[in-house]
Structure 1
Amino acid sequence: MNGQTNLILRAATSGDVSDITKLVTEAFAQYTPLIGKPPAPALYDYAEIVARGRVTLALAGQAMLGVIYIYPEEEGAMMLDVLAVSEAARGRGIATGLIRAAEDQARAEGARLMRVYTNVAMTGPQALYPKLGYRETHRGESDGYSRIHYEKAL
């Protein structure tokens, strides 16, 4: 992760819920004016999601720099549902490192495909996912959001 030797990835616990909620809310806040409402991940119940045991954190000391949440889907696929990096930590390779760790986890669990979608207003992810080998599969409306869907064979 770009020389982040002191960066550790670990599973989230119930004690992390408040910090996860804050990080995700702040990371996605810039998109609310563009979308006209908060992005879906800013509205999630992170206590429930963390309880599922599928959230990974990127930490430097006690500072939470990033979070990723994946879950299995049908047909041997894994969905990357939430990826957020704190504003102060952007540009340091943390998102890429979290995605690669999630892909490794998915492979270890037998997934053959990783799926992800992003809002059409979010240009950062639209640049990142193709760089990491994701291909756009389709665009469409779901849950009141205009989304771009991607997938990558694992």
Structure 2
Amino acid sequence: MSRDASGKDPERARPEDATALTVLARRAYERFVPIMNAVPLPMTADYAALLGSADVWVMRSAAGIGASLVLVPQGGHLLIESIAVDPDRQGEGLGREMLHWALKRARDLGFNELRLYTNVLMHENRAWYKRAGWTELHEEQRGDKRIVHFAYRFQPVAQ
């Protein structure tokens, strides 16, 4: 089971978290704007709508939401739509904790594959995912962005 430094599991986001999730995504992704020369999609997402349609999780502390995870079931896999970590909390392992939580959720939902995508220009992220065992599948042009798709396959938990 995944736990943050305080020993707490991520918890399901609530409707009243929509504004905080929007602020968190903007803060977490703004450093990528000059790298991509474009605005990352999580910065413009409608978090109020996502709370009604996706599996959204947060790591809370006394200071507020430190990280978020948006998951969307798609066919035979669970898509990580976004992971956002507050810049003031980066380096604490929250991103890795959220990835572990995504794996747990995928298993709980009966999937044996996680997927995500990132901008091809986010070289640090691409290298990090590869070190964590993810496989690059293919690249795709999506509007003004060139993205790369990743997959993480695993054995389901025996029932």
Q: Could you say whether these structures have the same fold, taking a TM-score greater than 0.5 normalized by the shorter chain as the test?
A: yes
How is 1:47-66 mapped onto 2 (pairs within 5 angstroms)? 47-66=48-67
2:157 alignment counterpart:
none
Residue in structure 2 matched with residue 133 of structure 1 by the alignment: 133
- After TM superposition, the structure 1 = structure 2 runs for residues 13-92 of structure 1, keeping only pairs within 5 Å, are 13-74=14-75, 76-92=76-92
Q: 2:142: which partner in 1?
A: 142
Give, in whole Å, the separation in 2 of the partners of 1:2 and 1:121: 30
- Runs (4 or more) in structure 1 with deviation over 4 Å come to none
Deviation at 1:108, TM superposition (A): 0.8
Partner secondary structure for residue 38 of structure 2: coil
Instruction: Give the TM-score taking structure 2 as reference length.
Output: 0.88
Q: Distance in 2 between matches of 1:50 and 1:9?
A: 15
**Identity, % of aligned pairs?**
22
Q: 1:3 to 1:42 in 2, by over 3 A?
A: closer
Q: Which amino acid aligns with 2:28?
A: A
SS at match of 1:58: strand
Shift of 1:36: 2.0
Relative to structure 1, the CA distance from residue 62 to residue 88 in structure 2 (aligned partners, 3 Å threshold; closer, same or farther) is closer
- Return the offset for 1:37: 2.0
**Alpha-carbon distance, 1:73 to partner:** 0.8
Unaligned segments of structure 2, at least 5 residues: 155-159
1:46 maps to a residue whose letter is Y
* CA apart distance, 1:34: 2.1
Structure 1 residue 79, shift from structure 2 partner: 0.6
CA distance in 1, matches of 2:140, 2:53: 28
Do 1:31 and 1:121's aligned partners in 2 also have CA atoms closer than 8 Å?
no
- TM-score, normalised via structure 1 length: 0.91
Q: Distance in 2 between matches of 1:84 and 1:127?
A: 18
Alpha-carbon distance in structure 2 between the residues aligned to 1:19 and 1:136: 31
Aligned residue for 1:97? 97
Q: Specify the alignment match of 2:6 in structure 1.
A: 5
Q: Distance in 2 between matches of 1:71 and 1:36?
A: 27
Q: The residue matched to 1:133 in structure 2 has which SS?
A: coil
Q: Deviations over 1:20-51 (max 9, x none)?
A: 00000111111112222211111110000012
Secondary structure at the counterpart of residue 138 of structure 1: strand
CA distance in structure 1 between the partners assigned to 2:82 and 2:125 by the alignment:
11
